[in-house]
């Protein structure tokens, strides 16, 4: 759209920029892409559609937001490659490197790279669940079979549940047992021992205490760990023994006996009371025989087995597989289908541990990057981009220009068109005012000699040269208007053209990285481009005056392309030669038949029909298959 704001007046606005040069004809400044694109002015890309038709121009400019395409991979790749090549120091201000989730979660069974991995996990889990259900059923069958035949007989007193351990110490052994326990537990460590002797004594004393008492509290453990030598540890043990001895001696004999662990006093138990306790438990067991019902769910059967004390039978059955999981895409009673988030919640609950889903993790980092006004990229993309940038600087010609003294990067130019006064703009990758040179990085499909000429022409690189050259020359001419002896114009517009080795960054490479440094050397190309730019701006102003955008008006003539005319003429020559050969054969056959009939009439006898060989066409030489000529 048309904007006739005086270029230099933009300097009075609140647009943040670093001005390199300014005068009444325009200015050059460094500013970010967002601010640059927000300024309404004619640009190379903006006016190109006007050379097609008013409809094209209106479509691309009337509603920029509506017709603005989402940034493609090529655009994102180009932005990153430009930054790393020209202004690497700005990388961390504009990009965030995505965490290598695959590496950081290596070995984590509950980390899923994608939906397919999540689905595969659920399938494997449910297979384990089936095996678990079968194992539970087998355990139930075994339990019921054993319960029907006999109760579990317990012959070892120590294996009785605590509530059935009612045997008493023989009265004649009480004093001896208490004394023995006191000697084992409350004997102080002799501090007069050497450090070497203390080490073994301390270890034995600590081991005995932890085995025979419950004194090893968190408070004592902390002091024990803090003690850095055997002598300090011995003091801690002696202090603990003295404290516990006072408490122990204050107890009655019965309470002291209850304090002593079973494995110490078991040999001192009254044999009759031990037998009585075992029989009591056995009798109780017989009265508690319960068969587990077959119609219970697998979970209910597990709980029933656990209630019957069948812990050992269930040790091999992992708890995680008690629940069957629903898979992604299965029918959901409320939402229609289960999505990945729903399934992850089930896994969290089932495994009592967080399940991690890479797409969710990436999206979280992307959202944070957006809040920080940055773009998230993967380590693979950055590594690939660095490889391409290194290849650029390994090209001697590209390196020479990119490292030229006086280079300024990402410089915007603003000026007014001399004929219409319309505001124009351009942003060049590299500007060098010491030598009056501009450079632009291009990342392309190929740098082959013939194809680069064609592709650069199709993308109108010469338009960019011409338009930026015009703006530069206007601004510089005004800056040096008093220098009559020297002409201040752009000397060169250099294109550093890079052929990427893959369709996009991070993808598998398919070819080498090739770099060429080129420029337009025929002045006619640039002059013609300038005329086309003037025509485009004139058209835009005409449509603004008319109030509508013209399409293709009037009745136009069209012609067959030259290459197609040539092919069609070749085809006609071929078919006409083929037709002439055919007609000659047919005429020859007719002459032979006439001669034969005349001969028969004159002799009155039948003659054997001569064998006629297959026709041989007298075809013209056409230099190989005709169908390939067009490609020659």
Helix axes 115-149, 298-307, angle to 10 degrees: 50
Cα 355 from Cα 346, distance rounded (Å): 9
Half-sphere exposure of 630 (CA within 13 A, CB side): 12
Cβ atoms of residues 26 and 8 within 8 Å:
yes
Q: What is the pLDDT of residue 623?
A: 44
The CA R_g of the chain, rounded to the nearest whole Å, is 48
**Of the segments 117-131, 230-244, 320-334, 403-417, which one has the largest average pLDDT value?**
403-417
Structure-token pair, residue 563: 């290459």
**Predicted confidence (pLDDT) per residue in 4-15, tens digit:** 999 999 999 999
Average pLDDT over the chain reads 86
Please tell me the least confidently modeled range out of 89-93, 157-161, 219-223, 580-584. 157-161
Which residues of 15-112 form beta strands (DSSP E)? 18-23, 26-30, 95-97, 111-112
3-state DSSP call for residue 102?
helix
Exposed e or buried b per residue across 409-434, where buried means at least 16 C-beta atoms within 10 angstroms of its C-beta: bbbbbbbbbeebebbbbbbbbbbbbe
Q: What is the pLDDT of residue 274?
A: 81
Q: Is the pLDDT of residue 71 over 60?
A: no
190 sits in which H/E element:
none
Q: Are strands 375-377 and 95-97 parallel, antiparallel or unpaired?
A: parallel
401 sits in which H/E element:
helix 396-402
Q: Is the pLDDT of residue 609 over 80?
A: no
Please provide the distance, in angstroms rounded to a whole number, between the alpha carbons at the two ends of the chain. 46
Cα 151 from Cα 221, distance rounded (Å): 44
Cα 579 from Cα 262, distance rounded (Å): 119
Q: What is the pLDDT of residue 617?
A: 47
Nearest CA to 479 out of 18, 9, 17, 25 is that of 25
Percent above pLDDT 70 for the chain: 90
Topology of the domain covering 7-95+378-546: Lambda Exonuclease; Chain A (3.90.320)
- pLDDT tier at 349 (50, 70, 90 boundaries)? confident
Cα 625 from Cα 630, distance rounded (Å): 10
Higher pLDDT pick, 569 / 211: 569
Q: Is the pLDDT of residue 627 over 50?
A: no
Please tell me the least confidently modeled range out of 65-79, 118-132, 325-339. 65-79
Domain boundaries, the chain: 7-95+378-546, 559-594+617-632
CA distances 529 to 63, 458, 462, 492, Å, are: 27, 13, 6, 16
- pLDDT tier at 313 (50, 70, 90 boundaries)? low
Q: What is the pLDDT of residue 625?
A: 39
Characterise 327 by phi-psi region: left (phi > 0), alpha (psi -120 to 50), beta (else): beta
Q: What is the pLDDT of residue 601?
A: 77
Cβ atoms of residues 161 and 284 within 8 Å:
no
Q: What is the pLDDT of residue 171?
A: 85
Q: What is the pLDDT of residue 484?
A: 64
**Predicted confidence (pLDDT) per residue in 569-605, tens digit:** 999 999 999 999 999 999 999 999 998 888 877 765 5
Nearest CA to 93 out of 431, 391, 410, 433 is that of 410
Mean pLDDT, to the nearest integer, of 337-341?
A: 89
| Tokens 């959901």, located at residue | 332
The number of beta carbons lying within 10 Å of the beta carbon of residue 402 is: 21
Q: What is the pLDDT of residue 77?
A: 92
Q: What is the pLDDT of residue 201?
A: 87
314 sits in which H/E element:
helix 311-314
Q: Is 362 exposed, middle or buried (0-12, 13-18, 19+ CB in 10 A)?
A: middle
Structure-token pair, residue 618: 């007298």
Q: What is the pLDDT of residue 288?
A: 60
Cβ atoms of residues 181 and 292 within 8 Å:
no
CA distances 230 to 194, 212, 224, Å, are: 10, 21, 10
Mean pLDDT, to the nearest integer, of 227-255?
A: 87
**Predicted confidence (pLDDT) per residue in 451-468, tens digit:** 999 999 999 999 999 999
Q: Is the pLDDT of residue 268 over 70?
A: yes
- pLDDT tier at 331 (50, 70, 90 boundaries)? confident
Percent above pLDDT 90 for the chain: 50
Q: What is the pLDDT of residue 526?
A: 94
* Strands ordered across the beta sheet of 18-23: 18-23, 26-30, 407-416, 423-432, 437-444, 492-499, 514-518
Q: Is the pLDDT of residue 35 over 50?
A: yes
**Predicted confidence (pLDDT) per residue in 469-514, tens digit:** 999 999 998 888 777 656 789 999 999 999 999 999 999 999 999 9
Q: What is the pLDDT of residue 82?
A: 95
């Amino acid at each position: 759209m048309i904007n006739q704001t005086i270029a230099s007046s933009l300097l009075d606005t609140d647009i943040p920029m670093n001005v390199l040069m300014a005068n009444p004809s325009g200015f050059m400044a460094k500013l970010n892409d967002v601010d640059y694109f927000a300024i309404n002015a004619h640009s190379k890309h903006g006016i190109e559609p006007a050379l097609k038709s008013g409809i094209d121009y209106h479509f691309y400019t009337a509603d920029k937001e509506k017709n603005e395409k989402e940034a493609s991979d090529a655009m994102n790749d180009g932005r990153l490659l430009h930054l790393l090549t020209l202004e690497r120091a700005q990388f961390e201000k504009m990009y965030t490197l995505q965490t290598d989730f695959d590496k950081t979660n290596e070995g984590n069974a509950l980390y899923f790279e994608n939906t397919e991995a999540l689905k595969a996990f659920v399938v494997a889990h449910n297979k384990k669940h089936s095996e678990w259900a079968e194992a539970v059923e087998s355990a139930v069958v075994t339990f019921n079979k054993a319960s029907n035949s006999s109760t579990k007989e317990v012959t070892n007193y120590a294996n009785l549940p605590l509530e059935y351990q009612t045997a008493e110490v023989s009265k004649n052994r009480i004093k001896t047992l208490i004394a023995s326990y006191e000697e084992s537990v409350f004997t102080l460590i002799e501090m007069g021992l050497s450090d070497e002797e203390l080490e073994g004594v301390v270890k034995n004393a600590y081991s005995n205490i932890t085995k025979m008492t419950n004194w090893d509290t968190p408070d004592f453990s902390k002091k024990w760990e803090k003690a850095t030598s055997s002598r300090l540890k011995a003091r801690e043990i002696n202090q603990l023994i003295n404290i516990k001895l006072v408490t122990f001696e204050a107890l009655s004999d019965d309470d002291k006996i209850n304090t002593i662990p079973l494995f110490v006093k078991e040999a001192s138990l009254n044999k009759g009371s031990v037998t009585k306790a075992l029989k009591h438990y056995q009798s109780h067991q017989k009265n508690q025989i319960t068969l587990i019902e077959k119609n219970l769910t697998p979970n209910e059967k597990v709980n029933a087995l656990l209630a019957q004390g069948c812990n050992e039978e269930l040790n091999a059955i992992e708890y995680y597989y008690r629940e069957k999981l629903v898979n992604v895409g299965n029918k959901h009673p409320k939402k229609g289908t289960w999505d990945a988030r729903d399934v992850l919640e089930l896994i969290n609950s089932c495994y009592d541990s967080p399940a991690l889903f890479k797409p969710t993790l990436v999206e979280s980092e992307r959202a944070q990057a957006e809040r920080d006004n940055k773009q998230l990229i993967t380590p693979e993309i950055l590594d690939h981009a660095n490889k391409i940038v290194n290849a650029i600087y390994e090209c001697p010609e590209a390196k020479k220009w990119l490292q030229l003294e006086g280079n300024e990067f990402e410089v915007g130019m603003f000026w007014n068109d001399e004929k219409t006064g319309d505001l124009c703009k351009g942003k060049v990758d590299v500007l060098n005012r010491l030598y009056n040179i501009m450079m632009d990085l291009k990342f392309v499909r190929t740098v082959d000699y013939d194809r680069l000429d064609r592709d650069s022409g199709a993308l109108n690189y010469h338009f960019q040269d011409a338009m930026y050259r015009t703006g530069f020359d206007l601004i510089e001419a005004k800056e040096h208007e008093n220098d009559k002896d020297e002409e201040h114009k752009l000397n060169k517009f250099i294109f550093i053209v890079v052929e990427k080795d893959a369709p996009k960054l991070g993808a598998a490479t398919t070819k080498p990285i090739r770099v060429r440094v080129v420029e337009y050397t025929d002045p006619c190309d640039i002059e013609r481009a300038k005329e086309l730019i003037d025509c485009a701006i004139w058209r835009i102003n005409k449509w603004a005056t008319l109030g509508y955008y013209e399409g293709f008006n009037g009745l136009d003539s069209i012609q067959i392309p030259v290459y197609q005319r040539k092919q069609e003429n070749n085809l006609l020559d071929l078919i006409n030669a083929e037709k002439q050969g055919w007609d000659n054969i047919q005429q020859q056959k007719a002459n032979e038949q006439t001669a034969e009939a005349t001969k028969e009439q004159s002799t009155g006898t039948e003659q054997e029909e001569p064998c006629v060989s297959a026709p041989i066409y007298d075809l013209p030489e056409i230099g190989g298959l005709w169908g390939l000529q067009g490609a020659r």
